[in-house]
Amino acid sequence: MLKKILYGFLALIALIILVSFFLPGTAHVERTTEINAPAAKVFPLLNDLKAWDVWSPWDAKDPDMAKTWGEVTSGEGATYSWEGDPEQVGSGTMTITEVIENQKVVTQLDFGDQGTAMGGFDLSESDGVTKVTWYFDTDVSSPFLIGKYFGMMMDGFVGPDFEAGLNNLKEYIEAMPPYSIEIAETTFGDIHYLFIRGVCAQSDLQPNMEERAGVLMGYVGESGVEVAGMPFSMYHSWGDEVDFAFCIPVSGEMDIDHESIEYAYMEEATFVKGTHVGAYDHLGTSYDEIQRYLEDNAIMSKGPAVEYYENDPGEVEEADLITSIYFPKDS
């Protein structure tokens, strides 16, 4: 009887080993959702690793998880590391390795002793609805025998997290206040203004812009300079690194004695103007619309873009904010 049990056990082991040779050496997991928003609205929340905080499924699983971002946090080369509860989120590093704007984001995952994997998002838009597929691929050929059987369970381990994350993403985006954009050609300029210029990584633009705004508004308030309009921003270049300026219109030409504040005059010229009504979160989408307008009408733009804030976010609802975006038309 004991021999029969032993032979049966050995036969079972042999069967498990034999079957493992026919199991796939890779594991693939994917989940898909449809979001009622254009791809240009979805893409920034995938391409910017810091933006993952608003929809990631893992923050809820381990609120005490430690997170660290690299010097680059969006686009190719962006990195993010985490360390948390081994039974919930584990630890690892993610790097964005490839990006096609509004179409895909590809990531490389390194789980240390647990191995590596590839992942990412594919986006496709139709009639203002974006289909988002979140996928994950990893080699499960080792350790021998165990790896392939573990790979068969991968969908059950990872799939529910992907579903939760995509649901969070969908809910967050669809709850965003609406916006509108109207594009036309117009004249703009004849403005005297004070400005502070800076250069920083795109991911650090907001705090850098706020810092310079504070310095300039403080100077204007203390010196009694006559302000002639709402503040505006100027973008001389845009990429991983942004060359920008925060500006305040003033009543006329003036001499400035300040280490970082300068005076300038903008002559009147022809611009392509986009009037954005709605939350600032949607400005990236409006910029995309203006770029398409320029391309469709074979218009060359030369010089810095101007972002003019027509009303005060402290005085109106987010949905009623008006931002005028000007691209100088190359004559």
Residue 124 lies in a domain: yes
Residues 190 and 124 in one domain: no
Residues 27 and 170 in one domain: yes
Residues 28 and 160 in one domain: yes
Residues 33 and 166 in one domain: yes
Q: What pTM did the predictor assign? A: 0.58
- Predicted pLDDT of residue 148: 47
* pLDDT tens digit at each of 331 positions of the chain: 555 555 444 444 544 444 444 445 577 889 999 999 888 788 888 988 888 999 999 888 888 899 998 888 888 899 999 998 887 878 999 999 999 988 999 999 998 877 888 999 999 998 889 999 999 888 765 555 554 445 455 677 778 999 999 999 999 989 887 788 889 899 899 999 999 999 999 888 889 999 999 999 999 999 989 999 999 999 999 888 999 999 999 999 999 989 999 999 999 999 999 999 988 888 888 888 898 899 888 999 888 999 999 988 888 888 888 999 999 998 6
Which of 174, 196, 228 finishes a domain? Answer: 174
> Peptide bond before 143: cis, by omega within 30 degrees of 0?
yes
**Residue pair 214/231 in contact by the 8 Å Cβ criterion:** no
Which of 174, 197, 216 finishes a domain? Answer: 174
Residue 12 lies in a domain: no
> How many domains is the chain built from?
2
**Cα–Cα distance for residue pair 112/234, rounded to 1 Å:** 43
Residues 135 and 232 in one domain: no
Which of 123, 146, 174 finishes a domain? Answer: 174
Q: Please tell me the number of Cα atoms within 13 Å of 202 on its side-chain side.
A: 19
Residues 265 and 215 in one domain: yes
**Residue pair 311/229 in contact by the 8 Å Cβ criterion:** no
Residue 3 lies in a domain: no
DSSP string across 80-125: EEEE--TTTT-EEEEEEEEEETTTEEEEEEE-GGG-EEEEEEEEEE
- Predicted pLDDT of residue 18: 47
Residue 305 lies in a domain: yes
Residue 87 lies in a domain: yes
Residue 220 lies in a domain: yes
Residues 143 and 197 in one domain: no
Residues 281 and 161 in one domain: no
Residues 232 and 307 in one domain: yes
Going by C-beta distance under 8 Å and a sequence separation of 6 or more, which residues neighbour residue 289?
Answer: 181, 183, 274
- What is the extent of the structural domain holding 235? 180-328
CATH number, domain with residue 92: 3.30.530.20
Residues 99 and 54 in one domain: yes
Residues 165 and 196 in one domain: no
Going by C-beta distance under 8 Å and a sequence separation of 6 or more, which residues neighbour residue 175?
Answer: none
- Predicted pLDDT of residue 155: 74
- Predicted pLDDT of residue 102: 85
Residue 204 lies in a domain: yes
Residue 9 lies in a domain: no
Residues 45 and 124 in one domain: yes
CATH number, domain with residue 191: 3.20.80.10
